């Protein structure tokens, strides 16, 4: 009997010791909100346009997954500010970059906890990079980290310090460090067993999904909603020292269509809405006597551009070799650029809510955007002049002919079902017909379009778009001549033209220094070259417009971050 008591005492003691040990982890470096002190509590309701496909952030490829988890449930060592787009601290409170730009040392916030109460340490960071470097895990995170074919070396210095050593100076490395850190204590076992790729699928018990972000998953009903609850252990605090976020629960309703999304907002059932161009005027009028405001975040990262096939390997050239001559003729491309009626495009395709795009860097990218690039304002007279300079002329019926008297006729493809692009295509075709060209506009299935562009190389021209980002090197698959998305002439062994060679060089130089000012210079020149040479001809980009209930406070809405980028310091007024 005595023995029992003794054992019990020991057990109790150990339990006590263990529980106090967990309590002992003290957050050494909280982040303190500078915004207005709000009240805690409440439920935020927003919408999602699609179901997540997985909660495993490394495997996730679609935005429908990443917009649920990245930044909200998981966080990176660093992240980007929602307003300035600059890199700022997250799980790492600070970092040092060596003189030669090859060694990065990150100092982690001490005492940060995963949302299940376990402490976050350097081991988790090392574990995450073990995962990323594992070739059996299909993750695009690895691509961003491989420099000259080598994965950087990484090591733990102590419990709160990690160090990376790169083979070469590589400026976008810090951008790659925004990738999400995963918990070793939850994922080590599945990884060892070889089923990491199917771990954290959509049917996982929500409490299994552990991150450091402001929210944790509480419930997911397939096709209906995701419910997230405040992470009680979060490392951000309000000015009174209480743990953020303010809002206790966050419900994200999965709506099937944008129409339903808008209706839900108008009924007052949700707090925010991404406004479509066609709803803008109506909602704007209503907002004056309603409890919400409309905020124009400015141009978004999405692009729409026209690209001509300048690939000498185009199989159609056997029959029509002259097309190569036309499309590689700079005057021809300039004429097309001058005939882009961007005002009409904005009014008709984007319901008035868009911006003109001139540079390959998207407008919200305040650090790298070069506003001084050559612009081609709508002017058919100038377009005709350019055509004349390029050796084109017109026959008696006003049809455009080239030097050898051939009528200028070509196809423009775009992906069917994308209303904006179909409208843009119509406007472009109308203007080019005005110049005497014969245009066959042809919206086709997306998959067919991709095979024309990616593997068959047999198209004339395509109206398509790519989504940009803040780091210009993200275009490394597009702009350098060896890139597989170098659409006009992909995967070249050696740059076909001088200006392409220069862009190759600029992209190499752009990563070879960590000084932002110097990088800006290289990327400015790159933007000038693209605007000068017009391998792609930009059209218009939609603006990101949001409707936000006045009840939701502390918001500062931008095209880059949306409404919710600082969700941890938003609060609901009673």
Partner 1 sequence: MKTYILRRILIVIPLLLVISMLSFFIMQLSPGNYLDQMRMNPDISRELIESMEEDFGLNEGIMTQYFAWLGQTLQGNLGESFSYRVPVTQIIGSRLFNTLILSLSAMVFAWVIAIPIAIYSATHRYNILDNLFSVLAFIGLSIPNFFFALLLLFLIVRYNIPLPVSGMTSVMHDFMTPREQILDILRHLIVPTIVLGSAGTATIMRQMRGQMLDVINSDYIRTARAKGLKESTVINKHAFRNAINPMITMFGLQLSSLFSGAALTEIVTGWPGLGNLMLTAVRSKDLYLAMAGLMMGSLMLVIGNLIADLLLAVNDPRIHYN
Q: How far is the CB of 450 from partner 1 (least distance, A)?
A: 4
Q: How far is the CB of 119 from partner 1 (least distance, A)?
A: 30
* C-alpha dihedral (383, 389, 394, 400), degrees to nearest 10: -60
Q: Is the peptide bond before 245 cis (omega within 30 degrees of 0)?
A: yes
Choosing from 59, 77, 244, 439, the residue that interacts with partner 1 (CB under 8 A) is 59
The single residue among 69, 187, 254, 514 that binds partner 1, judged by CB under 8 A, is 254
Segment near partner 1 (CB under 8 A); pick from 77-85, 93-101, 118-126, 136-144: 136-144
Question: In this structure, what DSSP letter does residue 47 have?
Answer: E
Shortest separation between residue 330's beta carbon and partner 1, angstroms: 25
Q: Using CB under 8 A, which of 82, 101, 144, 360 touches partner 1? A: 144
Q: Which of 41, 117, 256, 315 binds partner 1 (CB under 8 A)?
A: 256
Cα–Cα distance for residue pair 191/155, rounded to 1 Å: 20
- Range 61-100, binding partner 1 (CB under 8 A): 61-62
Q: Does 48 bind partner 1 (CB under 8 A)?
A: no
Nearest to 49 by CA among 262, 194, 213: 262
Contact pick of 263, 315, 375, 498 for partner 1 (by CB under 8 A): 263
Among 193, 267, 289, 319, binds partner 1 (CB under 8 A): 267
Q: Shortest Cβ distance from residue 544 to partner 1 (Å)?
A: 20
Position among 167, 485, 496, 520 found at the interface with partner 1 (CB under 8 A): 485
| In the block, residue with structure tokens 């305040």 | 366
Q: What are phi and psi of 12, to 5 degrees?
A: -60, -45
The smaller minimum CB distance to partner 1, of residues 380 and 491, is found at: 491
Minimum CB separation of residue 220 from partner 1 in Å reads: 11
Q: Judged by CB, which is closer to partner 1: 423, or 477?
A: 477
Mark 506-530 as b/e (b = at least 16 C-beta within 10 Å).
bbebbbebbeeeebbbbbbbbbebb
Q: Given the complex with partner 1, which of 43 and 281 has the nearer CB atom?
A: 43
Select from 222-230, 311-319, 326-334, 350-358 the region that touches partner 1 (CB under 8 A).
Answer: 222-230
Sheet holding 92-97, edge to edge: 92-97, 103-108, 161-165, 153-158
178 sits in which H/E element: none
Q: Least distance from C-beta 72 to partner 1, angstroms?
A: 18
CB of 436 closer than 8 Å to CB of 408 = yes
Q: How many residues does the chain have?
A: 574
| Rg (the chain; Cα; Å) | 27
Query: Can you tell me which of 15, 39, 140, 239 binds partner 1, judged by CB under 8 A?
Result: 140
Q: How far apart are CA 574 and CA 564, in angstroms?
A: 19
Q: For partner 1, give the closer residue by CB, 250 or 332.
A: 250
Residue 180 binds partner 1, judged by CB under 8 A: no
C-alpha torsion sign, points 427, 431, 434, 440: negative
CA gap 201, 111 in Å, rounded: 29
- Cβ nearer to partner 1, comparing 111 with 490: 490
Q: Report the nearest approach of partner 1 to the CB of residue 296 (Å).
A: 24
- From candidates 9, 14, 189, 201, binder to partner 1 by CB under 8 A: 201
Is there binding between residue 260 and partner 1 (CB under 8 A)? Answer: yes
Shortest spacing between CB 373 and partner 1, in angstroms: 20
| 545 strand-pairing partners | 275, 296
Candidates 466, 537, 548, 567; binder of partner 1 (CB under 8 A) is 466
145 is a site residue for partner 1 (CB under 8 A): no
Asked if 408 touches partner 1 (CB under 8 A), the answer is no
CB of 175 to partner 1, least distance (A): 11
**Does residue number 44 form part of the binding site for partner 1 (CB under 8 A)?**
no
Q: CB neighbours of 197 closer than 8 A, spacing ≥ 6?
A: 56, 59, 136, 137, 138
| The only residue of 86, 153, 208, 224 in contact with partner 1, by rule CB under 8 A | 224
36 makes contact with partner 1 (CB under 8 A):
no
- Of the residues 159, 242, 448, 508, which one makes contact with partner 1 according to CB under 8 A: 448
User: CB of 310 within 8 A of CB of 537?
Assistant: no
Are 413 and 459 spatial neighbours (Cβ–Cβ below 8 Å)?
Answer: yes
d(CA 517, CA 368): 9
In the bound complex, what is the minimum distance in angstroms from residue 309's beta carbon to partner 1? 16
The answer to the question of residue 287 lying near partner 1 (CB under 8 A) is no
- CA angle in degrees (0–180, nearest 5) for 517-152-138: 105
Q: Does 203 bind partner 1 (CB under 8 A)?
A: yes
Q: Is residue 317 at the binding interface for partner 1, with CB under 8 A as the rule? A: no
Distances (CA, A) of 527 to 262, 370, 383, 532, 566: 37, 7, 22, 8, 31
Segment (H or E) for 346: helix 342-349
Q: Let me know: does 64 contact 49? Beta carbons within 8 Å.
A: yes
Token pair belonging to 501: 């060679």
> Tokens 């991150």 belong to which residue?
211
Verify binding: residue 143, partner 1, rule CB under 8 A: yes
Those residues with Cβ within 8 angstroms of residue 393's Cβ, 6 or more apart along the chain or in another chain: 400, 401
- Check residue 454 for interaction with partner 1 (CB under 8 A): yes
Mode of pairing for the β-strands spanning 393-394 and 92-97: unpaired
Which residues fall within 8 angstroms of residue 282, CB to CB, at 6 or more apart?
A: none
The answer to whether residue 269 forms part of the interface with partner 1 (CB under 8 A) is: yes
Tell whether residue 219 is a contact of partner 1 (CB under 8 A).
yes
475 binds partner 1 (CB under 8 A): yes
Q: Does 53 bind partner 1 (CB under 8 A)?
A: yes
Size of the site for partner 1 (CB under 8 A): 58
Residue 451 in the binding site for partner 1 (CB under 8 A) = yes
Using CB atoms within 10 Å of the CB of residue 248, give its burial: 0 to 12 exposed, 13 to 18 middle, 19+ buried: middle
List residues binding partner 1 (CB under 8 A).
43, 45, 50, 53-54, 56, 59, 61-62, 135, 138-140, 142-144, 197-198, 201-203, 219, 221-225, 251, 253-257, 259-260, 263-264, 266-267, 269, 445-448, 450-451, 454, 464, 466-467, 469, 474-478, 484-485
């Amino acid at each position: 009997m005595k023995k029992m008591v003794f054992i019990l005492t020991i057990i109790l003691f150990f339990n006590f010791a263990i529980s106090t040990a967990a309590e002992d982890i003290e957050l050494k470096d909280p982040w303190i909100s500078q915004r207005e002190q709000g009240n805690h509590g409440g439920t935020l309701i927003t919408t999602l346009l699609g179901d997540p496909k997985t909660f495993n952030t490394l495997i996730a490829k679609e935005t429908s997954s990443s917009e649920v988890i990245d930044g909200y449930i998981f966080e990176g060592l660093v992240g980007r500010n929602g307003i300035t787009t600059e890199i700022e601290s997250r799980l790492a409170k600070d970092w040092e970059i060596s003189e030669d730009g090859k060694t990065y040392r990150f100092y982690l916030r001490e005492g940060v906890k995963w949302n299940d109460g376990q402490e976050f340490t350097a081991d988790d960071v090392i574990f995450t990079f073990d995962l990323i470097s594992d070739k059996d895990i299909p993750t695009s995170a690895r691509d961003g980290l491989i420099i000259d074919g080598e994965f950087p070396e990484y090591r733990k210095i102590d419990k709160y310090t990690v160090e990376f050593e790169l083979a070469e100076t590589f400026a976008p490395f810090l951008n790659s460090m925004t990738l999400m850190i995963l918990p070793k204590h939850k994922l080590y076992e599945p990884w060892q067993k070889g089923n990491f790729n199917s771990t954290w699928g959509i049917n996982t018990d929500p409490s299994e999904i552990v991150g450091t972000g402001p929210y944790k998953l509480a419930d997911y009903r397939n096709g209906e909603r995701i419910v997230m609850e405040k992470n009680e252990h979060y490392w951000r605090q309000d000015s009174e020292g209480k743990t953020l976020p303010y809002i206790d629960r966050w419900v994200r309703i999965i709506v099937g269509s944008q129409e339903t999304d808008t209706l839900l907002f108008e009924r007052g059932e949700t707090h925010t809405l991404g406004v479509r161009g066609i709803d803008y005027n109506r909602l704007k009028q209503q907002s004056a006597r309603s409890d919400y405001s409309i905020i124009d975040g400015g141009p978004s990262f999405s692009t729409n551009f026209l690209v001509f096939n300048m690939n000498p390997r185009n199989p159609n050239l056997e029959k029509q070799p002259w097309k190569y001559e036309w499309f590689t003729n700079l005057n021809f491309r300039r004429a097309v650029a001058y005939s882009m009626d961007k005002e009409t495009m904005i009014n008709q395709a984007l319901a008035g809510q868009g911006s003109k795009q001139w540079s390959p860097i998207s407008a919200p990218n305040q650090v790298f955007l070069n506003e001084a690039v050559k612009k081609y304002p709508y002017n058919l007279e100038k377009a005709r002049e350019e055509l004349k300079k390029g050796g084109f002329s017109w026959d008696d019926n006003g049809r455009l002919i080239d030097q050898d008297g051939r009528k200028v006729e070509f196809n423009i493809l775009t992906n069917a079902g994308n209303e904006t692009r179909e409208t843009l295509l119509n406007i472009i075709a109308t203007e080019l017909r005005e110049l005497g060209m014969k245009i066959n506009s042809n919206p086709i299935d997306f998959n067919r379009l991709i095979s024309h562009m990616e593997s068959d190389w047999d198209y004339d021209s395509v109206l398509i778009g790519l989504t940009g980002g803040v780091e210009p090197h993200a275009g490394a698959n597009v702009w350098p001549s060896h890139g597989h998305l170098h659409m006009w002439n992909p995967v070249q062994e050696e740059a076909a033209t001088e200006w392409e060679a220069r862009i190759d060089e600029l992209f190499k130089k752009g990563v070879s220094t960590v000084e932002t000012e110097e990088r800006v210079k290289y990327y400015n020149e790159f933007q000038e070259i693209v605007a000068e040479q017009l391998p792609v001809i930009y059209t218009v980009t939609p603006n990101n417009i949001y409707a936000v209930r006045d009840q939701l406070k502390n918001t500062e809405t931008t095209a880059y971050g949306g409404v919710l980028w600082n969700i941890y310091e938003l609060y609901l007024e009673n």
